[in-house]
Amino acid sequence: MEKYECTACGYVYDPAVGDQENGIAPGIAFEDLPDDWVCPQCGVGKEFFQKI
């Protein structure tokens, strides 16, 4: 699965790791994150992420 990078702060969402602090288990593809998921580093929405 593909990694996505936040263009406001550089945080990388890695599906293999997930975002456990915010209830996202490993194995969730970026596309399948909930609409209201935001960058855990800086707070911007999914629309500011780009595939790396």
Partner 1 sequence: MKIVIIGNGLAGTIAAKTLREMDNASAIEIYAEEKYIYYPRPNLIEFIAGNLPLARLFAFTERWYGQQRIGLRLATPAKRILPDSREIEIQGGLRVAYDILLLAGGASSFVPPIKGADKNGVFTLRTLDDALRIIEHLKDHPRATVLGGGLLGLETARALKSRGADVEVAEVFPQLLPRQLDPQGGAILKSEIAKLGIRVRLGVVTEEIIGEADIRGLRFKGGEEIPADLAVVAAGVRPSLNLAREAGLQTDRGVLVNDFLETDKPGIYAAGDGVQHAGRVYGIIPASFDQARIVAANILGQKTKYQGTIPSSTLKVMGIHLTSIGLANPEGGGYEEVRFEKPEEGIYKKIVLKDDTLVGAIWMGTKNGVNGISRAVAQKMNVEKWKRDIFEETFDFSLL
Q: Kindly list the residues in this chain that would bind partner 1 in the complex (CB under 8 A).
A: 7-10, 31, 35, 41-45, 47-48, 50-51
Minimum Å gap between C-beta 27 and partner 1 is 18
Assess contact for 24 and 33: CB atoms under 8 A: yes
Sign of the CA dihedral running 21, 40, 15, 30: positive
Closest CA to 16 of 42, 6, 4, 43: 4
Q: How far is the CB of 40 from partner 1 (least distance, A)?
A: 11
Least distance (Å) between residue 16 CB and partner 1:
19
* Residue placing its CB nearer to partner 1 in the complex, 17 or 30: 30
